[in-house]
């Protein structure tokens, strides 16, 4: 699997929409991330796990927090919970000898007193 792009929307410290290209190329076959403490590196890695695995993701900040509460905590603090947050990952894989581009999108927002999550795979 080759990761192409991760889009974070109102996720943790990432307010608004942030598109991060991840496709390696011959000149840059490895993607490296470096930044100061507290700048979002672990949040970014948590986003990769969460978009792919949802409730079963082994993310850093969840511990024994119920999934719905965890999702609520991940909505950027400057955004209304009813607006919510989302993640989208596009990647390329080979299926039966043919390259396939797949997009997984996971969004969630507060609806009444609960969090409603939606996951779509294209």
Distances (CA, A) of 43 to 27, 38, 48, 50, 114: 27, 9, 9, 10, 23
Tell me the C-alpha distance between 37 and 93, whole Å: 33
For 30-48, how does the pLDDT look when each residue is reduced to its tens digit (9 = 90+)? 888 888 998 889 999 999 9
Q: What is the pLDDT of residues 67-81, one digit of tens each?
A: 999 999 999 999 999
Predicted pLDDT at 15: 97
- pLDDT tens over the chain, length 122 residues: 899 999 999 999 999 999 999 988 888 788 888 889 988 899 999 999 999 999 999 998 788 899 999 999 999 999 999 999 999 999 999 989 999 999 999 999 999 999 999 999 99
Tokens linked to 27: 């000149």
Whole-number pLDDT of residue 60: 87
8-state DSSP, 34: -
CB 10 within 8 A of CB 84: yes
């Amino acid at each position: 699997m080759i990761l192409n792009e991760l889009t974070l929307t109102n996720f943790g410290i990432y307010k608004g929409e942030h598109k991060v290209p991840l496709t390696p190329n011959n000149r840059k076959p490895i993607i490296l991330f470096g930044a100061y403490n507290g700048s979002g590196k672990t949040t970014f890695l948590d986003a990769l796990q969460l978009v792919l695995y949802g409730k079963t993701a082994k993310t850093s900040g969840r511990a024994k927090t119920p999934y719905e509460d965890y999702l609520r905590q991940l909505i950027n603090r400057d955004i209304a919970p009813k607006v919510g947050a989302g993640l989208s990952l596009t990647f390329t894989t080979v299926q039966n000898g043919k390259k396939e581009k797949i997009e997984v999108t996971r969004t969630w927002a507060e609806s009444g007193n609960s969090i409603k999550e939606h996951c779509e795979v294209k």
